[in-house]
Homo-oligomer: A and B are copies of this chain.
């Protein structure tokens, strides 16, 4: 067996989490990073002994991951679906869909408080860049979008986000970690895009909103390309371990 002791998911984010949550997050990261390959059949019993826990938290994790569409629960075993380019495109379809909806609602509403909150998060992101903390940056990046979505107080839009968020979070984590190593200069552009986003909300300029949304989308497209690179690096690394 290859060395899999190192956890991909930030341990500090799990301080109060249950075993089930830990397994869920870690498993998700391993699947999305490509460490567990697409097509692999997961067995509850095997996972339980691998993670040295009982089947209860494993079952819980598999249910969650199935609802996120990254595994498929079948009669015998759970098959890893993983994320192909098709799925990446689909995830961003949904992101554009719900963020456009949210924007449309925000136009009708007082947003000064939201803008304040977003500015704070943006400052946090800058600090994270300064100290090269990829995980913290990712956390704030996800929080940025979640804050916007929460602002319209729409439980069923939030439901969609809740389903999308964990996968988004994993993608962003993996992408940012590799970018901090290789494409550090990207971050000023990311910050600019987020600032544009805030401006759009502040001025309630629908046109600017659409523009910034799509710029963010394009930016995210690049993130995905980065992810492909990091997947390749990772699988190369695993191969090297087998030498």
Contacts and interface: CB of A to CB of B under 8 A. Distances in A.
A164 interface: yes
Interface in A65-92: 67-69, 86-87, 90-91
A242 interface: no
A93 B164 contact: no
Given A63-B63, A155-B69, A155-B87, A94 B162 contact: no
Interface SS majority for chain A: helix
Interface string A146-166: 000000001111111011100
A162 B67 contact: yes
B155 A163 contact: no
A154 B67 contact: no
A91 to B, nearest CB: 6
A13 interface: no
A162 B163 CA distance: 11
Nearest to A154: B90
A101 B90 contact: no
A158 B154 CA distance: 20
Given A69-B159, A163-B163, 4 more contacts: A60-B63, A93-B156, A94-B157, A160-B160
Interface of A: 60, 63, 67-69, 86-87, 90-91, 93-94, 97-98, 101, 154-160, 162-164
